[in-house]
Structure 1
Amino acid sequence: MKTLQIIVTIAWRNLWRNKVRSGVVVLAMTMGIWACIFLAGFSVGMNDQRTDSALSTYVGFAQVHANGWEDERSVELLIPNLEEVIAKSQEIPGYVAHASRLVETGMAASSYGALGVQVQGVDPAMDTLVYDLQTRLIEGEFLPESRRVPRAYVGESLAEELKLEVGSKFQVTLQDVSGYATQALFRVGGIFKTVSSQYDKSTILIRREDMAGLIGVDPSAAHEIVYKISSKEQAIVWAGELSSAFPNAEVMSWKEVSPELGYADDMMATSLYIFIGIIIMAISFGILNTMLMAILERRRELGMLMAVGMNKRRTFFMVMIETIFLGAVGAPIGILVGHLSLIWSGVNGFDLSSVGEGLNAYGMDAIVYPSAVPEYYLGIAVIVVVMTLLFSLYPAYKSIRLNPVQAIRSV
């Protein structure tokens, strides 16, 4: 035990006799841990932001449709037992709000062109409880009431494509329940902009009663019910329970409605591990180089220790302890710096407006707010320290291969 204490004491003193060298290794560890933690927080924050924006803008936490909707999406596929489904859904823990909608693919045309769009007939009062589209308004109003020409809420990209502005008239063509094409004139009441340029280009919102009259269905009918649930995780459980109660309806959580959001989580985790691995390997090679240089600089010192009775096993152990000490100093500093940088950037965000259009194409906002990820901190720090220990095995091995006599005579 006394021998161990002596070796530990010598190792600690050896570190700080050359403060610059030890400081370089500690700094490398600190920067490596900070880089890994910040990369994890940035990736998680960006992905969570994308998912949250999608859920609150156009996906919802869960959706209910008539059986066969995913395969056909026909105008006749109205939810048959709408009130019963709504009543049951409100009893399941996690329910927050719902909105019933009429949905159909159609055509929007102005004098400047035409585009295929998805027309959604919504109840503005209910819809705002589930989605935040009313907060995305950049011009006009969110589905104001109209006396003659009904109002529509259109995306900015669609307005630019068809050269529409607030007050402009355009034509919407849909198919009614009898299978005939039906057309109606709408006036732009408001223009919105979300984080998804694709959604903005392909979506038109109108009042539910206007759409019901256009396609010839009862105003209380609906093609889909969208839900807001207390959390993303709870939504999956909630959808499973409602699906069990109505096996003849299509009840889907957000992961089933929009599988790409779930895939993004898996891809993010995989790419994150790859980048973290690259960073750690780069740091480890830098530490390997520093430790090898340290051994060469201390040849005479190590030779003296061996000459006075320190055997090879103890010399090897001493070099490893030095590395552990460096990790014990660098890891906490790296975690602290990483956490503080995530807290700061989580409040202020990173403005990526220069590539904003590209991000919008993938449903991401131009301002990214990283998230603090405490669950990653310890794991990253341990991996960095362990990799440093592994890469210090070779310098430690080189130390015990020294010839004491030759080492003492070296300059």
Structure 2
Amino acid sequence: MILLAWKNIWRNRTRSMIMLVAIVIGVVGGSLFTAFYNGMIYQRINDAISNETSNIQIHAPQFLENKEINDTIPQIKTILNHIDTLTSLKAYSLRFKTMAMISSASNNTGVILIGTDSNREKVTTNISKKIVQGQYFATDKKNSLLVGEKLAEKLKLKLRSKVVITLQDSKGNIVSGAFRVVGIYNTGNTGFDSRVVYTTQADIQNLLADTSLYIHEIAIVLQNDGLTGSHAARLQAALPFVDVKTWKELYPEVGLMADYTQYLQLIYMTIIFLALSF
């Protein structure tokens, strides 16, 4: 049977060579396309984890829906003790996070205001490495602000531009403060860069005239993303009074694309061979 098939292949050499070349081109093309697509997806995942979400985030229940200043995380010390036991822990950052208004001389818009410990944030995310103009936070400068490049374009901001940040304090009063742009960052995600601004926790306390440390978000970065699901489940079971989410839950569209990459090559190759069979 094999001998008969071999003879049949070479009975019409031109046709056989055309089919062989078509199969090779189809297989190579499909493999290259899949590799390119997978690379693009995994780069997006890495960017999301490194610049935006980290692997795991912890919030008070309902915080993600409202982002109210009083929806702070309870029992911080207990939570940190559990975080420190994670085998794949790399770093974590505690953040103040709320909706605010930013106003420049030419325009204003709503933003997400993040107040953070600059040293912890530096090892938790890559924001400090994404500065395209200016610098990361300096300890001797008060009321410093990092803004995304897209937001800077919208508000016509440049380094040392003065802006006013307005938000509600814990009692519902409107408070405002003047800040200066010390750095402009670009993560490659225009949506993120147009709506998120960073300052320090100390500057938030000065703005609110309140020595309380408001923690709305704990971002956790792991050494191994493969342990994200198990570590998040472990934290949620131990800490039922908070909301623990993975990056896939925070960015479901990216997580969905990641889940489907393993099926992409099989589907693509099946289509190619079905086409060649005709």
TM-score, normalising length: structure 1:
0.64
Partner residue of 2:117?
A: 123
Q: Report 1:225-236 matches (<5 A).
A: 225-236=218-229
Q: How far off is 1:224 after superposition? A: 0.9
Unaligned residue ranges in structure 2 (runs of 5+) = none
CA RMSD of aligned residues (A): 2.0
Q: Quick one: distance in 2 between partners of 1:271 and 1:155?
A: 34
Partner residue of 1:408?
A: none
1:34 to 25, 28, 36: 28
Q: How far off is 1:96 after superposition? A: 1.4
Partner residue of 1:135?
A: 129
Q: 1:60 to 1:114 in 2, by over 3 A?
A: same
Q: Which stretch of structure 1 is more off in the superposition, 268-277 or 224-233?
A: 268-277
Q: How far off is 1:68 after superposition? A: 2.6
Q: 1:279 to 1:15 in 2, by over 3 A?
A: closer
Provide the aligned length of Structure 1 versus Structure 2: 278
Q: Quick one: distance in 2 between partners of 1:245 and 1:44?
A: 35
State whether residues 43 and 272 of structure 1, in contact with CA within 8 Å, keep that contact through their aligned partners in structure 2: no
Q: Quick one: distance in 2 between partners of 1:277 and 1:15?
A: 23
State whether residues 151 and 189 of structure 1, in contact with CA within 8 Å, keep that contact through their aligned partners in structure 2: yes
* AA matched with 1:152: L
Q: Quick one: distance in 2 between partners of 1:218 and 1:246?
A: 26
| 1:262 lines up with 2:233 in the alignment | no
* AA matched with 1:123: D
Point out the structure with max Rg over C-alpha: 1
Q: 1:222 to 1:173 in 2, by over 3 A?
A: same
| 1:44 lines up with 2:38 in the alignment | yes
Q: Quick one: distance in 2 between partners of 1:210 and 1:266?
A: 41
Q: Quick one: distance in 2 between partners of 1:139 and 1:276?
A: 45
Q: How far off is 1:144 after superposition? A: 2.1
Identical counterparts, % of pairs = 28
Partner residue of 1:59?
A: 53
Q: Quick one: distance in 2 between partners of 1:47 and 1:109?
A: 35
State whether residues 27 and 269 of structure 2, in contact with CA within 8 Å, keep that contact through their aligned partners in structure 1: no
Point out the structure with the larger strand share.
Answer: 2
Point out the structure with the larger helix share.
Answer: 1
SS at match of 2:160: coil
Partner residue of 1:338?
A: none
TM-score, normalising length: structure 2:
0.92
Partner residue of 1:90?
A: 84
The CA deviation string for residues 233-281 of structure 1, in whole angstroms up to 9 with x for no partner, is 3111101001111101111111222222222235656766654444333
Partner residue of 1:300?
A: none
1:241 to 214, 234, 241: 234
Q: Report 1:224-373 matches (<5 A).
A: 224-266=217-259, 275-285=268-278
Q: How far off is 1:14 after superposition? A: 4.4
